[in-house]
């Protein structure tokens, strides 16, 4: 085989109008069907399926035997002539003149790609390269790619600058989660829980409106269907605006992503009717949330964070995407701006009826107040010096948020387990593949 395969066509680039044309395709042997006198090879590529038809009488014996012998999921390159055939996928079949086996697959497969035999998530994740060959999983990851592109396009159109901040950091936890320690030459370092401190420092740099799409690392010990130890976060930070403007930015971004994904034909493979949410999303205060939770008979005290059952009660009552605003200061990080004269702060969470999607706030931009807040959380201002310094020489007022990519995907696609929307998820038990 000479590479690249000359004029290679995807299965969906060939139609019945190409009747009589000679074409080259390449892909995986998806299925083999033996009808005695006729043998079918269904070849799968990224874009779909092609039927390769071998008539025993007219095709050479060698080619016929070769096709019969090739194990399923082997990789083949086929040269053949197109023949219109209504009953075949895309309305054509290929009469082969050459079948080249580029890579022969082992006979016992770890997964059934045709979808006839289901598999546990763990089995699928162990053989993820193969699981992505199934239609449903493939479309999830194509949609993931489209979601990321839609986010970049949306922010790019609004003048945002994409940044990349370090994932290896010295201590300085923001609270809320444990960090993963790593060995950094002769010192201890950590994997970053979020780009929070760095994106804020870049507001002092004058870049003005910045965003980052990158991994965040959290040593969450619990095993839930919505927590990963390595997740992807879209982080946005904007100068000279308040929490109200970045909430609007967030809801418009979500609506824009939904409307892009709704146009993708592969969405039908997920048995999904995607409804684009209407903006503005509903806003309730933390106090109103507490009232609704208590009314439903669930225990909660003012000042506590919302438990998963409490989130579900709110989700059931509200039934659509919504914001919770005006959180108690004590359960939000030190960088959230306190509301004047109250024990709440200008922080918000974006909620899907099933789970939290994003958290954000107006940020403290006064050096003195920030230092005070850090200390009042029992943290050492010294270890935050690199961050605090950025507030001493001209820091604009600013606001921002962090949105979980996997949470957005799983809620939008009605998928139960967050691991389904990550190619190679990392959780308490899983470090391989
Ligand atoms: P939760 O309370 O649901 O654990 P959080 O409030 O600790 O989340 P934030 O620190 O607010 O999370 O992070 C911002 C967003 O990043 C979250 O709203 C969520 O979408 C996402 N995120 C945070 N931690 C994880 C995780 N362990 N796995 C997947 N996504 C996460
Ligand atoms: Mg949060």
Tens of pLDDT, residues 243-288:
999 999 999 999 999 999 999 988 888 889 899 999 999 999 999 9
Does ligand 1 lie within 6 Å of residue 406's CB atom?
Answer: yes
What pLDDT shows up at residue 177?
81
CA of 61 to the centre of ligand 2 (A): 65
Bridge-based pairing of strands 75-84 and 48-55 is: unpaired
Atom of ligand 1 nearest to the CA of 356: 18
Tell me the ligand closest to 404's alpha carbon. 1
Cα–Cα distance, 335 to 354 (Å, whole number): 27
CB 202 within 8 A of CB 236: no
Residue 215: name the closest of 201, 197, 228 by CA.
Answer: 228
Atom of ligand 1 nearest to the CA of 359: 11
Tell me the ligand closest to 306's alpha carbon. 1
Alpha helix (H) ranges present in 110-237?
121-126, 128-131, 135-157, 196-203
Tell me the ligand closest to 194's alpha carbon. 1
What pLDDT shows up at residue 173?
77
What pLDDT shows up at residue 240?
98
Does ligand 1 lie within 6 Å of residue 422's CB atom?
Answer: no
Look at ligand 1, atom 12, and give the residue with the nearest C-alpha: 359
3-class secondary structure, 332: coil
Atom of ligand 1 nearest to the CA of 233: 16
Cα–Cα distance, 76 to 73 (Å, whole number): 9
Instruction: Domain 128-281+320-421: give its CATH code.
Output: 3.30.930.10
Tens of pLDDT, residues 76-118:
999 999 999 999 999 999 999 999 999 999 999 999 998 788 8
Tell me the ligand closest to 418's alpha carbon. 1
Phi and psi at residue 166, to the nearest 5°: -65, 145
User: Is the bond preceding 280 in cis, omega lying within 30 degrees of 0?
Assistant: yes
In angstroms, how far is CA 113 from the centroid of its own chain?
23
Where would I find the beta strands (DSSP E) of 174-208?
180-184, 187-191
What pLDDT shows up at residue 246?
98
CB 334 within 8 A of CB 374: yes
| pTM for the structure as a whole | 0.96
What pLDDT shows up at residue 309?
96
State both tokens at 312.
């579900």
Residues spanned by CATH 3.30.930.10 within the chain? Answer: 128-281+320-421
Does ligand 1 lie within 6 Å of residue 359's CB atom?
Answer: yes
Does ligand 1 lie within 6 Å of residue 402's CB atom?
Answer: yes
Cα–Cα distance, 375 to 373 (Å, whole number): 5
Does ligand 1 lie within 6 Å of residue 230's CB atom?
Answer: no
Cα–Cα distance, 420 to 409 (Å, whole number): 10
Residues of the chain falling short of pLDDT 70: none
CA distances, 379 to each of 166, 175, 180, 189, 382 (Å):
22, 9, 18, 17, 9
Owner of token pair 């940020």: 363
Cα–Cα distance, 130 to 73 (Å, whole number): 9
Tell me the ligand closest to 356's alpha carbon. 1
Residues spanned by CATH 2.40.50.140 within the chain? Answer: 11-103
Residue 264: name the closest of 99, 412, 73, 56 by CA.
Answer: 412
Does ligand 1 lie within 6 Å of residue 233's CB atom?
Answer: yes
What pLDDT shows up at residue 114?
85
Atom of ligand 1 nearest to the CA of 229: 27
Does ligand 1 lie within 6 Å of residue 404's CB atom?
Answer: yes
Look at ligand 1, atom 9, and give the residue with the nearest C-alpha: 359
Phi and psi at residue 245, to the nearest 5°: -70, -40
Does ligand 1 lie within 6 Å of residue 252's CB atom?
Answer: no
CA of 411 to the centre of ligand 2 (A): 16
In the β-sheet with 161-162, what is the strand arrangement from edge to edge?
Answer: 161-162, 209-217, 230-239, 398-404, 355-362, 344-352, 322-328, 282-285
Topology annotation, domain 11-103: OB fold (Dihydrolipoamide Acetyltransferase, E2P) (2.40.50)
Cα–Cα distance, 391 to 385 (Å, whole number): 10
Ligand 1 pocket, mutate which of 328, 402, 419 (most atoms under 8 A from CB)? 402
Ligand 1 pocket, mutate which of 178, 233, 335, 401 (most atoms under 8 A from CB)? 233
CB 24 within 8 A of CB 6: yes
């Amino acid at each position: 085989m000479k590479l690249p395969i000359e004029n290679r066509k995807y299965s969906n680039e060939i139609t019945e109008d190409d009747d009589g044309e000679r074409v080259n395709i390449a892909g995986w042997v998806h299925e083999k069907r033996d009808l005695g006198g006729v043998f079918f090879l269904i070849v799968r590529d990224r874009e779909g399926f092609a039927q390769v038809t071998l008539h025993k009488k007219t095709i050479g014996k060698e080619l016929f035997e070769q096709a019969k012998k090739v194990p399923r999921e082997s990789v083949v390159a086929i040269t053949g002539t197109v023949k219109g055939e209504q009953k075949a996928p895309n309305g054509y079949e290929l009469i082969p003149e050459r079948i080249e086996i580029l890579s022969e697959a082992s006979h016992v497969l770890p997964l059934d790609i045709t979808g006839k035999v289901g598999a546990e998530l763990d089995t699928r994740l162990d053989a993820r390269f193969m699981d992505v060959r199934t239609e449903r999983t493939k479309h999830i990851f194509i949609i993931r790619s489209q979601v990321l592109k839609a986010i970049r396009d949306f922010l790019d159109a609004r003048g945002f600058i994409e940044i990349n901040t370090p994932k290896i950091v010295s201590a300085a936890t923001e609270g809320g989660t444990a960090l993963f320690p790593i060995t950094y030459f002769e010192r201890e370092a950590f994997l970053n829980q979020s780009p929070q401190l760095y994106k804020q420092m870049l507001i002092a740099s004058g870049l003005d409106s910045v965003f980052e799409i990158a991994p965040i690392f959290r040593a969450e010990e619990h095993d839930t269907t919505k927590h990963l130890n390595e997740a992807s976060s879209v982080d946005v930070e904007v100068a000279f605006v308040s929490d109200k403007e970045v909430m609007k930015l967030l809801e418009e971004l979500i609506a824009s992503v939904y409307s892009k994904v709704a146009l993708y034909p592969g969405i039908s493979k997920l048995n999904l009717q995607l409804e684009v949410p209407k903006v503005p999303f509903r806003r309730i205060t933390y106090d109103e949330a507490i009232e609704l939770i208590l009314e439903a008979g669930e225990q909660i005290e003012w000042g506590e964070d919302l438990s998963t059952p409490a989130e579900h009660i709110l989700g059931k009552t509200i039934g659509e995407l919504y914001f919770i605003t005006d959180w108690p200061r004590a359960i939000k990080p030190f960088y959230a701006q306190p509301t004047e004269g109250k024990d709440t702060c200008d922080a918000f969470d974006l909620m899907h009826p099933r789970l939290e999607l994003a958290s954000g706030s107006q940020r403290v931009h006064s050096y003195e107040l920030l230092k005070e807040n850090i200390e009042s959380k029992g943290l050492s201002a010294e270890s935050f010096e690199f961050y605090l310094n950025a507030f001493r020489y001209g820091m604009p007022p600013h606001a921002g948020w962090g949105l979980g990519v996997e949470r957005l995907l799983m809620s939008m696609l009605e998928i139960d387990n967050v691991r389904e929307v990550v190619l190679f998820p990392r959780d308490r038990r899983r470090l391989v593949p």
